[in-house]
A and B are shown apart, each in its own frame.
Chain A
Amino acid sequence: MAVSVRIPTILRTYTAGESEVGADGTTLAEVLDDLERHHGGIRARVLDDEGGLRRFVNVYVGNDDVRFLDGLQTPTPDGTQISIIPAVAGG
């Protein structure tokens, strides 16, 4: 697997409880497509109906929020760590 994706607690129902899963793809869009193939339903939690990144879920490639990189076209070279960080409000 080319990249690893950290899955937050709230989305682990899609990954059978796994906190980190592997995926293939040279851009974030391709990685999300690959994730969807193996963990059906998860892409819709990250992307909205128009296919854009949801504004209450942040996706980090390495240490950076992709909203400030190239969004879904952000390159994901082999070994990249991707993190999905959803807004939570508990206190």
Chain B
Amino acid sequence: MSPSLSLPPLVEPAAELTTDEVRRYSRHLIIPDVGMTGQKRLKNAKVLVIGAGGLGSPALLYLAAAGVGTLGIAEFDEVDESNLQRQVIHGQSDIGRPKALSARDSIAEINPLVEVVVHDERLDNDNVMRIFEGYDLIVDGTDNFATRYMVNDAAYFLGIPYVWGSIYRFDGQASVFAPKQVEDAPCYRCLYPEPPPPGMVPSCAEGGVLGVLCASIGSIQVNEAIKLLTGAGEPAVGKLVIYDALELEWRKLKVRKDPNCRLCGEHADVTELIDYDAFCGAISEEAADAAAGSTISVTQLEHMLKEREEGSRDFVLVDVREPNEYEINQIPGSVLIPKGEFLNGNALEQLPPVDSGTQVVMHCKSGVRSAETLAIVQGAGYDDAVHVGGGVVAWVNQIDPSQPAY
């Protein structure tokens, strides 16, 4: 058994609670572990939530309701209809609005005593340190590896602890990273030294996420945040909480500090912010090479399909998405061969032979997966193979708005 780990509260208590505040927070005040002092600490706390999306929505709502005095929202995106399945801080009338402003309005309704600071900009190397500075704690609910590594590094350089959470389909993970607060405590890079290569791990936009999973993991993040701010209980420092929603199973695994960690290890060589897009790569080099000069637009594709119908052109249009995506929408005349079939080598025998001269045209949802399969197909000898930039998303937007987008 590892020794129990409690941390001093991150925040000093505010001078007092008003009568209104005592009434509002009474259910907290009568818990011995929170009490007046704990609630005053929450009142004095400044917490930055990164992303007002799946995880950020429940996190912001519960942090606001709990009485965290200052809540920062770092979010540049706008509310889309496809967000509402899980991003419960936004509503129907918010579609098209900046998420940061929509979230601010919801917080004002939940708890007008909270001061909200809106950072309506995309986090990057130029602004991240400025935005983080002054916060006691960060809650990370971003949706991509590049930002996650940037958040980890910036928080480390500034000495700000943070609560990390991540979700995919039915799986959730959460932890607390406080390498500057706790001796031998790990950072995110100790847990995952490198991001997966592009194309290997799908995003939620590609692979999907169970809406309510956001609440499961987002609420765990708030739970840890409140513990850190008030000093109650044992925070998940050096622990990885994993949740399997299908099996309804929570587990807690050990996360060790990596002595070879490039950020917080003994011979660290990451001493300032790095190029996170290059570190994580939006698209693999092979795919980028293949796509250069072999990408057609949806308008070109529409024209080619007409020619094929008239008999003046021959090609096979391959949709490399998953079957459940194919059910939602499709480009007419396409055949479905999911990307995995290309990775395991089974796809090639489903294509017309190389020497038949039939051109292969590939598409996916947005053009990332089809660039990956394009590299494979070109490597197999289909020299004139192309893929469709923007994928079925562009097709629905520009050619056939009658089909649903997702």
Contacts and interface: CB of A to CB of B under 8 A. Distances in A.
B193 interface: yes
Contacts of A10: 168-169, 171, 201-202, 207
Contacts of B97: none
A54 B201 CA distance: 13
Interface of A: 6, 8-10, 13, 19, 41, 54-58, 60, 63-65, 67-68, 83, 85-91
B142 interface: yes
Nearest to B55: A91
A55 B193 contact: yes
Nearest to B147: A89
9 contacts: A10-B169, A41-B344, A54-B196, A56-B194, A85-B253, A87-B166, A89-B144, A91-B140, A91-B204
Contact of A90 (B168, B192, B194, B340): B168
Given A65-B256, A68-B256, A19 B55 contact: no
A90 B191 contact: no
Interface stretch (B100-108, B223-231, B238-246): B238-246
A90 B164 CA distance: 11
Tell me if A's interface is mostly helix, strand, loop or mixed. mixed
Given A9-B169, A60-B253, A90-B167, A67 B258 contact: yes
B69 interface: no
* Top 3 A-B pairs, shortest CB-CB distance: A90-B204, A88-B168, A55-B194
B378 interface: no
Given A9-B168, A19-B247, A85-B240, A90 B256 contact: no
B95 interface: no
A55 B42 CA distance: 37
Nearest to B167: A90
B366 to A, nearest CB: 16
B192 A91 contact: no
Given A13-B340, A85-B253, A86-B201, A91 B54 contact: yes
Contacts of B191: 58
Nearest to B202: A10
A16 B258 CA distance: 35
Contact of B246 (A19, A83, A86, A88): A19
Interface in B40-67: 51, 53-56
B141 A64 contact: no
Nearest to A8: B171
Contacts of B204: 90-91
Contacts of A65: 253-256
Interface string B182-211: 000000000111111000011110010100
Contact of B196 (A56, A58, A63, A91): A56
A88 B56 contact: no
Contacts of A64: 253-254
Nearest to A13: B340
A83 B253 contact: yes
Contacts of A63: 253-254
